[in-house]
Amino acid sequence: MSNVPIIILKEGTEETREREARKQNITAMVAIAETIRSTLGPKGMSKMLVDSLGDVTITSDGAEILKNLDIENIAANMMVNVAKSIDEDIGDGTTSAVIFSAALLNNALELIEQDIHPKPIIHGYKLAADKALEIIKEIAEKISRDDNEVFKNAAKTAMNAKDIAPLKDFFSGLALKAVKHIAEEDGNTFAKVSNIKIVKAPGKSLKDTELINGVYTQKGKVNTMMPDLIKDAKIAVIRRKLDVKKTEFDAQIRISSPTDIQKFLNQEDKILQDYLKIFKDLGVKMIVNSSDISEKFGAYLAKEGIAGIKNVSESDYKSILKAVDAKLVDDLTSLSENDLGFAEKVQFEKLGDDEYTLFSGCKNPKSVSILLKGGLDKILSTAEVSLNDVLSVIAKLFDTKTVVAGGGAIYIELAKRTRAYANEISGKEQLAVNAFALAFEEIPKTLIRNAGLEEIELLTELRAAHRTPDDKWIGIDTITNTIGDNFKKGIVEPAELINHIIKSGSELTNLILRVDRIISAKGSMP
Ligand SMILES: Nc1ncnc2c1ncn2[C@@H]1O[C@H](COP(=O)(O)OP(=O)(O)OP(=O)(O)O)[C@@H](O)[C@H]1O
Ligand SMILES: [Mg+2]
């Protein structure tokens, strides 16, 4: 008997081999890119997403669109993961990452169809990716934390392709202020972006959006007699029902005399009074409860001049905890001075029909909220997604401090230099490096196409314009439809965004090219 293991596949298992397997995977991935290709850039189109309940969202945000696609194909899902990972690590660039990855895969497929083995393609792609990262390191512009204009320009570039573009001057200033508030010296600003709490509030227009020093939460006080403003507030953040516990079963209480009734009520009251005493003794002025506060207890608190909000969501109480520097307490009997947080002011406000609580002058000076105002709910939701992109881009730039020019400029320069590098390489790898260079041009090409401009003509013009190193930032501005130095025009992006696009694209192609078989279980989607 030979030592070769015999793998017996279950009946119904399908096996797809080699070339066909790669082709199947790549075709599915390219199809994903096609669904969002037309959204890229300032002249990109939007997509209308309709969920299973019939709710409609209109967006041009790649990550949003892909999140809402119901995809069963495994390879296609890997493409969606490329978008997810750049969304998590950079917060922008999802559409570009997907388009670039698809171009890399497509170009690889063409080489495979010319009978080139995947091994030299994988190797060539690896060489090209490493070279491209080196080129970016060499040519990217270094900035300092005080280059406010560059930060704002990066924010505006990220907004150019979004619905909030008409307000980009306003929002870039506001977003920069917000990020400066939470900025960290240690290069961890990006991780802290979630500390900027975006609160959607009714208002006339997005232009009324405000940056607030502190944390907002959409909750009103539980009893109208509670104070509207509390100064120097000691705050307890708890997760405990402030009510008398109901019995598990519907118990019947037999009461035979009026004194029994009184006894029973007194007992119930005693429990509430004990709770109240805990707060009073510690000098608590404000209670944030993720659980319920009964009407009766609310009235007791109000009488003592203590305010409270109830049923506060997890994300809200977490940001309050951080802002006021409190510890979450479940067991009231263990509540101590150490668990309490502090804010100079706790205010209750009414905005439109909704009630809000604002904690300001917090122990943690880094807590900040953006009160995003606008008329329609849909506009607010789309603006929130875009604003998150913008905050992430600025924060990433704070941590990495290097930018490149957008509008295709960086990609044309990368294509040019990667092609020059290909000439230094021999064999089949050279073809692969050239294929990688060609994939870079897919981004400017798509920007031009989406603007309804002449693709081949302008791409040729851009290539020709990149003659000397000084031409490195020449790109297209599809708002004014002009070719020029996009760095000077303020169309800039974090270099880290392009790095990520290159890395995720080449990792994905590597993975897919290594697959030479698809074995799918009976009934599964390929
Ligand atoms: N004025 C402009 N002219 C040409 N291109 C521009 C201009 N402003 C921005 N861009 C380019 O638009 C591209 C970004 O477009 P878009 O925001 O639609 O996609 P993305 O950032 O890749 O994905 P998403 O924002 O959906 O996560 C970048 O390549 C950027 O350089
Ligand atoms: Mg973008």
* For residue 426, pLDDT beyond 80: yes
Residue 55 Cα, ligand 1 centroid: separation in angstroms? 27
Measure the CA–CA gap between 475 and 93, rounded to whole angstroms: 17
Asked whether residue 238 falls in the same domain as residue 362, the answer is: yes
To test the ligand 1 pocket, which listed residue (37, 447, 458, 474) has its Cβ within 8 A of the most ligand atoms?
447
Q: Average pLDDT in the 224-242 region?
A: 95
Amino acid (1-letter code) at residue 163: D
Asked whether residue 218 falls in the same domain as residue 362, the answer is: yes
Could you tell me where the DSSP H helices lie in 38-117?
A: 62-68, 74-89, 94-113
Pocket of ligand 1 (CB under 6 A): 39-42, 44, 60-63, 92-96, 157, 160-161, 389, 406-407, 443, 447, 476-479, 491, 493
Indicate whether 389 belongs to any domain.
no
Q: What spatial distance separates the first Cα and last Cα of the chain, rounded to whole Å? A: 35
Q: Average pLDDT in the 434-456 region?
A: 97
pLDDT band at 2 (very low <50, low <70, confident <90, very high): very low
Ligand nearest to the CA of 63: 1
Question: Is residue 239 within 8 Å of residue 332, measured between CB atoms?
Answer: no
Residues 6+ apart with CB under 8 A from 477: 407, 483, 484, 486, 489, 491
Indicate whether 374 belongs to any domain.
no
Q: Which of 459, 428, 457, 425 is nearest to 441 (CA)?
A: 459
* For residue 365, pLDDT beyond 50: yes
244-286: pLDDT as tens digits: 765 444 556 666 677 777 776 777 788 899 999 999 999 999 9
313-342: pLDDT as tens digits: 998 999 899 899 999 999 999 999 999 999
Asked whether residue 348 falls in the same domain as residue 413, the answer is: no
To test the ligand 1 pocket, which listed residue (32, 37, 40) has its Cβ within 8 A of the most ligand atoms?
40
Residue 39 Cα, ligand 1 centroid: separation in angstroms? 9
Residue 247 confidence (pLDDT)? 45
Task: Indicate which atom in ligand 1 lies nearest the CA of residue 489.
Answer: 1
Residue with tokens 């009978």, as numbered in its chain? 115
The domain that holds 102 is classified in CATH as 1.10.560.10
Asked whether residue 413 falls in the same domain as residue 359, the answer is: no
Which of 51-55, 109-113, 351-355, 402-406 has the highest mean predicted lDDT (pLDDT)? 402-406
Measure the CA–CA gap between 136 and 400, rounded to whole angstroms: 13
Residues 420, 432, 455, 150: what is their CA dihedral angle, to the nearest 10 degrees? Answer: -60
Query: Could you say which of 366, 395, 429 is where a domain stops?
Result: 366
Indicate whether 130 belongs to any domain.
yes
Indicate whether 29 belongs to any domain.
yes
Residue 64 confidence (pLDDT)? 82
Q: Average pLDDT in the 2-21 region?
A: 58
Asked whether residue 220 falls in the same domain as residue 359, the answer is: yes
464-491: pLDDT as tens digits: 999 999 999 999 999 999 999 999 999 9
Lowest mean pLDDT, pick from 66-70, 228-232, 298-302, 407-411: 66-70
Task: Indicate which atom in ligand 1 lies nearest the CA of residue 493.
Answer: 31
Residue nearest to atom 7 of ligand 1 (CA): 407
Lowest mean pLDDT, pick from 11-15, 113-117, 347-351: 11-15
Indicate whether 151 belongs to any domain.
no
Residue 92 Cα, ligand 2 centroid: separation in angstroms? 5
Indicate whether 4 belongs to any domain.
no
Residue 93 Cα, ligand 2 centroid: separation in angstroms? 5
Residue 248 confidence (pLDDT)? 44
Residue 410 Cα, ligand 1 centroid: separation in angstroms? 12
Asked whether residue 324 falls in the same domain as residue 417, the answer is: no
Query: Could you say which of 319, 341, 366 is where a domain stops?
Result: 366
Residue 1 confidence (pLDDT)? 44
Measure the CA–CA gap between 489 and 77, rounded to whole angstroms: 37
Structural domain harbouring 266: 214-366
Residue 160 Cα, ligand 1 centroid: separation in angstroms? 7
Asked whether residue 34 falls in the same domain as residue 115, the answer is: yes
HSE-CB of 4 using CA atoms within 13 angstroms: 3
Asked whether residue 111 falls in the same domain as residue 22, the answer is: yes
To test the ligand 1 pocket, which listed residue (60, 160, 404) has its Cβ within 8 A of the most ligand atoms?
160
Residue 407 Cα, ligand 2 centroid: separation in angstroms? 11
Question: Is residue 36 within 8 Å of residue 62, measured between CB atoms?
Answer: yes
Measure the CA–CA gap between 431 and 411, rounded to whole angstroms: 19
To test the ligand 1 pocket, which listed residue (88, 95, 492) has its Cβ within 8 A of the most ligand atoms?
95
Residue nearest to atom 21 of ligand 1 (CA): 93
How much is the pTM? 0.84
Indicate whether 172 belongs to any domain.
no
Q: Average pLDDT in the 196-205 region?
A: 85
Indicate whether 9 belongs to any domain.
no
Residue nearest to atom 9 of ligand 1 (CA): 157
Instruction: Specify the 3-state DSSP secondary structure of 307.
Output: strand
Measure the CA–CA gap between 501 and 90, rounded to whole angstroms: 10
Ligand nearest to the CA of 479: 1
Beta 402-405 vs 341-351: how paired, if at all? unpaired
Asked whether residue 222 falls in the same domain as residue 90, the answer is: no
Angle between helices 94-113 and 18-37 (to 10 degrees): 150
Ligand nearest to the CA of 482: 1
Asked whether residue 321 falls in the same domain as residue 425, the answer is: no
Task: Indicate which atom in ligand 1 lies nearest the CA of residue 61.
Answer: 26
Ligand nearest to the CA of 46: 1
Task: Indicate which atom in ligand 1 lies nearest the CA of residue 476.
Answer: 4
Residues 6+ apart with CB under 8 A from 71: 32, 77, 80
Residues 6+ apart with CB under 8 A from 3: none
Task: Indicate which atom in ligand 1 lies nearest the CA of residue 83.
Answer: 27
Query: Could you say which of 337, 366, 395 is where a domain stops?
Result: 366
Residue 44 confidence (pLDDT)? 86
Number of folded domains that form the chain: 2
Q: What residues are annotated to the active site?
A: 61, 94-95, 389
Residue 17 confidence (pLDDT)? 65
Beta 286-289 vs 229-238: how paired, if at all? parallel
Residue 107 Cα, ligand 2 centroid: separation in angstroms? 24
Which residues have their alpha-adjacent CB atom under 5 A from ion ligand 2? 92
Average model confidence (pLDDT) across the chain: 89
The domain that holds 332 is classified in CATH as 3.50.7.10
Measure the CA–CA gap between 435 and 495, rounded to whole angstroms: 22
Asked whether residue 231 falls in the same domain as residue 130, the answer is: no
Measure the CA–CA gap between 441 and 416, rounded to whole angstroms: 10
Beta 402-405 vs 141-142: how paired, if at all? antiparallel
Asked whether residue 324 falls in the same domain as residue 419, the answer is: no
Residue 13 confidence (pLDDT)? 54
Residue 427 confidence (pLDDT)? 94
Beta 368-374 vs 196-202: how paired, if at all? parallel
